[in-house]
Amino acid sequence: MTHKLSSKKTLRLIFILGCCLFLVFLNPKKVFNPFFEIFFKLSLPFQKIFYTLSQKTGNTLIFWSSLNEIREENEKLIKENRALLVETAGQKELQRENEELRKQLGLIPGKNFSLEASFVIGQNPQKLGSWILIDKGENSGITTGMPVIVSQGILIGKVEEVYADTAKVILLTDSESVINVRDLETEAKGVVRGKFGLGLVLEMVSQDDMLNAGDSIITSGLGGDLPKGLLVGKIQEPKVSLDRIFQGATVAAPVKYSNLDVVFVIKN
């Protein structure tokens, strides 16, 4: 019985409060305006605090959001800048290569050669002066045995191995290299051998022939594997062989093989 009375009182209280709130909300004839004014005056300091806090919170959120946007924009700019640097470097390298090609082509003698310009992309790391790797191969019409020259028609070696887009060139200074040559000034004939990647040696020259320091050594064309007239080097020091049947000389190459950059393969 007591529980039922308590429930009724609670319901009645809720009903009365609901009616009061409804009346306050409707505010008929603005009866409750004085109460609203008192309420607003009392709550004004708290409203200012809450408003200020909400503003600061909003500004903080905007600030962090702006930071994230700035960071993302910076990362995007950094990536674009790196890509631009790579592109610029590539363009500069291509420009440098084109200028070097034009320069070297201008120094090639005007002979009836079909030339394939190539860049050196590697060399024997264990034995400098032995061989180099170029960036042209079978797809460019390169075959084994083709002569390889640099500016001014200077012979540096022959193609030994060919791959799809690269080729291995054995240099004249390699110990396995042997070519037929002659002295441009005296017509003395002999062979030039590589000296273990260190230099060139002229051999098998008859004692009856004349060799002078400073003479130009060129390919003789004998054997048919090389065109005649390609410059090999200049005589440094004529020498008589131990058997005194032949004479020879050390030959200085006009180029430093370890610094080769652009070369030309003679295809015909």
Task: State the pairing for strand pair 115-123/262-266.
Answer: antiparallel
Two tokens, residue 72: 């993302």
The rounded mean pLDDT for the chain is 77
pLDDT at 162 over 90: yes
**Entry pTM:** 0.61
Does 230 or 23 have the greater pLDDT score? 230
Contact predicate 166/203, CB 8 Å: no
pLDDT at 180 over 90: yes
| Closest residue by Cα to residue 198 from 163, 220, 221, 171 | 171
Q: If residue 161 lies in a helix (H) or strand (E), which one and from where to where?
A: strand 154-162
Query: Cα 64 to chain center, whole Å?
Result: 39
| pLDDT for the residue numbered 44 | 53
| pLDDT for the residue numbered 205 | 93
| Closest residue by Cα to residue 196 from 125, 122, 129, 148 | 129
Indicate the length of the chain as a whole number.
Answer: 268
Q: What mean pLDDT comes out for the span 185-203?
A: 89
| pLDDT for the residue numbered 140 | 93
pLDDT (tens digit per residue) in 34-87: 555 555 555 555 555 555 655 555 555 565 666 667 777 767 777 776 666 656
Q: What mean pLDDT comes out for the span 186-198?
A: 88
Q: Own/partner pairs for 80-85, CB < 8 Å, 24+ apart? A: none
| pLDDT for the residue numbered 18 | 63
| Closest residue by Cα to residue 120 from 85, 171, 174, 195 | 171
Secondary structure class of 75 (helix, strand, coil): helix
The percent of residues in the chain predicted with pLDDT above 90, rounded, is 33
| pLDDT for the residue numbered 117 | 87
Two tokens, residue 174: 């390699």
- In this prediction, residue 104 has a pLDDT band, given cuts at 50, 70 and 90, of low
- CATH 1.10.10.10 corresponds to the domain 113-268: no
pLDDT (tens digit per residue) in 210-236: 999 999 999 998 888 888 889 999 999
pLDDT (tens digit per residue) in 126-158: 777 789 999 999 999 999 999 999 877 889 999
- In this prediction, residue 189 has a pLDDT band, given cuts at 50, 70 and 90, of very high
Torsion sign, CA atoms 19, 25, 27, 32: positive
